[in-house]
Structure 1
């Protein structure tokens, strides 16, 4: 199953800007790097807000004032450092991220430096009913709504772990 993009957008008002993993950890929050297409800025902010309400601090690269104006080698190095530093790596799967040049590079990098249980795909369903992210669902755990409420991390067989609030993976 996938999370409806309209539900993600509805949480944009809960979004916060957090640039440091240590800030989130100091508040006993889980931390994550959000891989997404910049064309999906509204979805990224919505997901950040939704996850914030569930005890997470989510890093979005374009909120980071230390990023170069134009992507270059420094951009790649900063992204790599954030992926390594933050606890989790989330891949927001949309039509735009699936066609991005950066998103596959980021998930490939994360795959090389993080354990598989620290990478989550967030499949989405757009307004036309099309689900995005299926290509990755058998490779990585995916984030979805839990049948008991809140969110959970599920493997390809549908076995899940509840993630809402301060619960752990």
Structure 2
């Protein structure tokens, strides 16, 4: 799992390498194409499949753009994919001219542009939200327990007495199952 998928134009690789060092220095894990040796060997369809797979392993896409980004075949595709797959993307303008070039690409106005002064704090906040939204094993166990609680009663839910009994006891059973799933990791085996 990576914190960040870094999308950049190949002409900006030197800038992207500097950005990766900065992001990793802040403690973030970064997926970037030039660290994935297998990418250069793949035909377009397999390359696209690999990028989809890698993007699904990330919490946020950072769209690092410059004037060169306008000519990129992959960057708009990666941004659209991130919008649909992970729902979190931000812009990282490499230059002031990039911000002016942004005006020509209307779709970029949908996303927040980070400023160098606040980028680390904002990325921390966005990634914190992403981590909180992820389904954790304890939550998954609680959902499975809820399914077990409701499965036994599902055919009878139409009857008022069963619905009343579930509303009275079901939430407590769910809470206890959730609490048990949280504390089970600390119990001696």
| TM-score w.r.t. length of structure 2 | 0.57
Q: 2:61–2:89: 8 Å Cα contact kept in structure 1? A: yes
CA RMSD of aligned residues (A): 2.5
d(CA) in 2 for partners of 1:56 and 1:110?
18
Match 2:113 to one of 128, 135, 142? 142
d(CA) in 1 for partners of 2:59 and 2:45?
23
Aligned to 1:82: 54
Deviation at 1:70, TM superposition (A): 5.1
Deviation at 1:41, TM superposition (A): 0.8
Match 1:36 to one of 1, 5, 8? 8
d(CA) in 2 for partners of 1:151 and 1:56?
12
CA deviations on 1:84-134 (whole Å, 9 max, x unpaired) are 11111110111111221111111111111122xx21111231xxx523334
Unaligned runs of 5+ in 1: 1-20, 25-30, 153-160
Aligned to 1:55: 27
Unaligned runs of 5+ in 2: 130-189
Are residues 1:124 and 2:84 paired? no
Deviation at 1:62, TM superposition (A): 2.3
d(CA) in 2 for partners of 1:93 and 1:47?
11
Q: 1:54–1:164: 8 Å Cα contact kept in structure 2? A: no
The 1:78/1:70 distance shift into structure 2, 3 A limit, reads closer
Larger Rg: 2
Deviation at 1:68, TM superposition (A): 4.1
d(CA) in 2 for partners of 1:62 and 1:163?
22
Looking at secondary structure, tell me which structure has more strand per residue.
1
Looking at secondary structure, tell me which structure has more helix per residue.
2
Q: Which has the higher contact order (CA 8 A, sep 6+)?
A: 1
